[in-house]
Amino acid sequence: MTSGSDRLIDGLVEDLEPVTPLLRVRQAFAVVLAVWAAVLGVVLWSQHDPTGAFPLFADGVYATTFVGLMIAALAATLSALAAARPGREGLERLGLGLAAGALGVASVVCLVGLMSEGSLASPPGADAMCLEKGVWLSLLPAGVVLSFLVRGWAAHPIRAALIGLVAAGALGGVIVHLSCDFIGHGHLLRGHMAVPLVLAVLGTFPAGVLIRRLRG
Amino acid sequence: MAGPPADASDEKRAANDERELQLTEWMQAAQAGDGEAYRQLLETIQPMIRRIVRAKVRDEAAAEDVVQNALLAIHRGRRTYRAERPFGPWMRAITRNTIIDHFRERKRKGDREVELVVEEFADDHEESAESETRLAPELTAALASLPETQREAVTLVQIEGLSVAEAALRAGVSAGALKVRAHRGYRALAKALEGARVAGEWRSERPAAAGGSPRGGSGETR
């Protein structure tokens, strides 16, 4: 007697087509970073003074925000890439935890800086301008990360989309951070740190649905 | 004293390593398009998957469904396997996720067995004439309301009784795509039939309620 599973196996064998295995996590990670570095290079090169933001690292809050965004970007990128590969749940969870921790710590440091005396108020429209710029600059890295997610097999598409967009948003946030020479702590929180949050809020659901439809 | 158990465990480990190697080879060949290796792989892992699933899903029919979904997921996600990593954990991760999906889906649907409704319709021998005449037009209408691709998938698999492979061949799509279409179709059918049933019950109760109401109300305020 042939069971339903045996019939399904017949169908799957008939349906078999050659596939190219996905890139290793570290290779895909290198691709994402290369794209991000290219965008960063273009943005800095197009500025009047590409190294204008470097002296700002003397400010502890500015430096912590940079480190927080950078760790979040790298960890969330690794986590997102692992999310599309069955059996790599450990790496996914580790990356997600690191990213959330880094963003949390950096946000708290910004808040503390904001409440301290002498914190500069943002010029009108500056927060929205940096936020918008960050979201735009995140789109290319987001596209690359999502393309890996779509080609892979994410067990939880919505969660994978969320992590991928946080990663891309943090990458965009770092670019904005390095290309903006305003050091107000409230501005760092609302204009730079908020980029991953806004991108995740705007894009998680549509990207998750897309991944669910196209995965594998 | 400790000799024989150690030997047995070594033998077991060696057998596991050998099987792991064989599965990896088959999977690599399958990724290159070797159908025979793929069939051997799927036939070998099918009982392994079934064991994992049966440990979590008690209901036999539901477990078989999960096994099939896991096989489909392995098929759809086969490009995510890399030969430098062991095959077993990869397969178990997919199976585990399929089981979790099953429980989530069951919770969401509240144990509503959609396919039973369709089978109820298809099996006209076991149905009373009265209930059949009540259900058939509703199901026909519900089927007609489905998108063309979903209607075709449901009709081929559930009403004509074809296997997934045969139905996929007839529809000119992959087995995976057909199964997805059929599942979407079942879900849409369930929704439509639920609506039709509620409306039917409401209609059948309405005259009695209208006649029996001590206040002589219309019976519409249920």
Quote the CA–CA distance of A92 and A149 in Å, as a whole number: 13
Taking CB atoms and an 8 Å limit, are B82 and A216 in contact across chains? no
Assess contact for A89 and B90: CB atoms under 8 A.
Answer: no
Q: Is the pLDDT of residue A50 over 60?
A: yes
**CA-based torsion, A186, A189, A192, A195: positive or negative:** negative
- Condensed to tens digits (0 to 9), the pLDDT of residues A100-159 reads 999 999 999 999 888 886 677 777 788 899 999 999 999 999 999 999 999 988 888 999
User: How many A-B residue pairs are in contact by the CB < 8 A criterion?
Assistant: 119
Nearest 5°: the CA angle A208, A213, A215 is 85
- Condensed to tens digits (0 to 9), the pLDDT of residues A166-182 reads 999 999 999 999 998 88
Name the residue of chain A whose CA is nearest to B181's CA.
Answer: A213
Name the residue of chain B whose CA is nearest to A15's CA.
Answer: B174
Q: What token pair was written down for A3?
A: 């069971």
Q: Is the pLDDT of residue A215 over 80?
A: no
Q: Which of A9, A153, A156 sits opposite B77 (nearest CB)?
A: A153
Q: At what angle do helices B175-212 and A4-15 cross, to 10 degrees?
A: 130
**pLDDT the model gives residue B121:** 46
**pLDDT the model gives residue B198:** 61
Q: Over A50-113, what HEC string results? A: CCCCHHHHHCHHHHHHHHHHHHHHHHHHHHHHHHCCCCCHHHHHHHHHHHHHHHHHHHHHHHHH
Q: Mutation target for A interface from B65, B69, B79, B149: give the one with most A CBs within 10 A.
A: B79
**pLDDT the model gives residue A5:** 80
**CA-based torsion, A114, A118, A119, A121: positive or negative:** positive
Q: For residue A158, how many C-alpha atoms fall within 13 Å in the half-sphere facing its CB?
A: 3
Residues 6+ apart with CB under 8 A from A52: A181
Give B124→chain A minimum CA distance, Å: 22
**CB contacts, 8 Å: A20 with chain B:** 31, 79
**CB contacts, 8 Å: A22 with chain B:** 79-80, 82
**CB contacts, 8 Å: A156 with chain B:** 97
Tell which B residues from 180 to 219 touch A, by Cβ distance under 8 Å.
Answer: none
The mean-pLDDT minimum among A13-27, A52-66, B178-192 falls in: B178-192
**CB contacts, 8 Å: A18 with chain B:** 31-33
**pLDDT the model gives residue A56:** 82
Higher pLDDT, A213 or A35: A35
Name the residue of chain A whose CA is nearest to B97's CA.
Answer: A155
Q: Which of B82, B93, B101 sits opposite A89 (nearest CB)?
A: B93
Q: Is the pLDDT of residue A68 over 90?
A: yes
Q: How far lies B30's CA from each of A18, B39, B42, in Å?
A: 7, 9, 10
Within an 8 Å CB–CB cutoff, is residue B30 touching chain A?
yes
Q: What is the dihedral of CA A98, A100, A105, A109, to 10 degrees?
A: 140
Q: How far lies B196's CA from each of A184, B63, B130, B137, B189, in Å?
A: 61, 30, 16, 10, 10
| Mean model confidence pLDDT for chain A | 90
Name the nearest CA neighbour of B143 among B109, B192, B180: B192
Residues 6+ apart with CB under 8 A from B167: B153, B156, B157, B160, B178, B182
**pLDDT the model gives residue B144:** 82
Q: What token pair was written down for A121?
A: 């108020």
Name the nearest CA neighbour of A210 among A140, A136, A145, A137: A145
Within an 8 Å CB–CB cutoff, is residue B72 touching chain A?
yes
Within an 8 Å CB–CB cutoff, is residue B163 touching chain A?
yes
Q: Which of A3, A13, A21 sits opposite B35 (nearest CB)?
A: A13
State the DSSP H helix or E strand holding residue A168, giving kind and residue range, or none if neither: helix A157-179
Give the residue-averaged pLDDT of A87-100.
93
Segments in chain B forming alpha helices (H): 3-31, 35-56, 60-76, 87-109, 114-122, 129-145, 148-154, 164-171, 175-212
Q: What token pair was written down for A149?
A: 């997610």
Quote the CA–CA distance of B127 and B124 in Å, as a whole number: 5
Within an 8 Å CB–CB cutoff, is residue B173 touching chain A?
no
Within an 8 Å CB–CB cutoff, is residue B165 touching chain A?
yes
**pLDDT the model gives residue A126:** 86
- Looking at residue A121, the DSSP 8-state letter turns out to be P
pTM for this model (two decimals): 0.68
pLDDT by 10s per residue, chain B, length 222 = 445 556 777 877 888 888 888 899 999 999 998 989 999 999 999 999 999 999 988 888 888 889 999 999 999 889 999 888 889 899 999 999 999 888 888 777 664 544 454 455 444 434 444 444 444 677 778 888 888 888 888 888 877 777 776 787 778 777 777 887 888 888 788 777 777 666 665 555 444 444 433 333 333 333
Q: Which of A7, A19, A24 sits opposite B164 (nearest CB)?
A: A7
**CB contacts, 8 Å: A3 with chain B:** 64
**pLDDT the model gives residue A120:** 72
The mean-pLDDT minimum among A7-11, A15-19, B26-30, B158-162 falls in: B158-162
**CA-based torsion, A98, A177, A122, A65: positive or negative:** positive
Taking CB atoms and an 8 Å limit, are B67 and A9 in contact across chains? no
Q: How far lies A159's CA from each of A96, A148, A156, in Å?
A: 10, 14, 5
